[in-house]
Amino acid sequence: GLELSHCVGTNPLGPPGPWRSGGPCKMKRVRTVFKPEQLERLEKEFLKQQYMVGTERVDLAATLHLTETQVKVWFQNRRIKWRKQSMEQKAAKLSQFGVIQPASADSTDSKDHEEDPVDVEL
Burial profile 51-68: b = 16 or more Cβ within 10 angstroms, e = fewer: ebeeeebeebbeebebee
d(CA 90, CA 92): 5
pLDDT on residue 52: 83
With respect to residue 24, please indicate whether it lies within any of the assigned structural domains.
Answer: no
With respect to residue 75, please indicate whether it lies within any of the assigned structural domains.
Answer: yes
With respect to residue 119, please indicate whether it lies within any of the assigned structural domains.
Answer: no
pLDDT above 70: residue 36:
yes
Show the domain range for 86: 36-95
The mean pLDDT of 5-12, rounded to a whole number, is 50
CATH code, domain with 56: 1.10.10.60
With respect to residue 64, please indicate whether it lies within any of the assigned structural domains.
Answer: yes
How many domains are contained in the chain? 1
| pLDDT tens string 61-88 | 999 999 999 999 999 999 999 999 999 9
With respect to residue 103, please indicate whether it lies within any of the assigned structural domains.
Answer: no
Instruction: Report the chain's mean pLDDT, rounded to a whole number.
Output: 75
With respect to residue 50, please indicate whether it lies within any of the assigned structural domains.
Answer: yes
The mean pLDDT of 103-119, rounded to a whole number, is 54
Confidence of residue 31 (pLDDT cuts 50, 70, 90): confident
Q: How far is CA 96 from CA 18, 84, 100, 101, in A?
A: 49, 18, 8, 9
pLDDT on residue 23: 45
With respect to residue 62, please indicate whether it lies within any of the assigned structural domains.
Answer: yes
d(CA 95, CA 102): 6
pLDDT above 80: residue 59:
yes
pLDDT on residue 122: 67
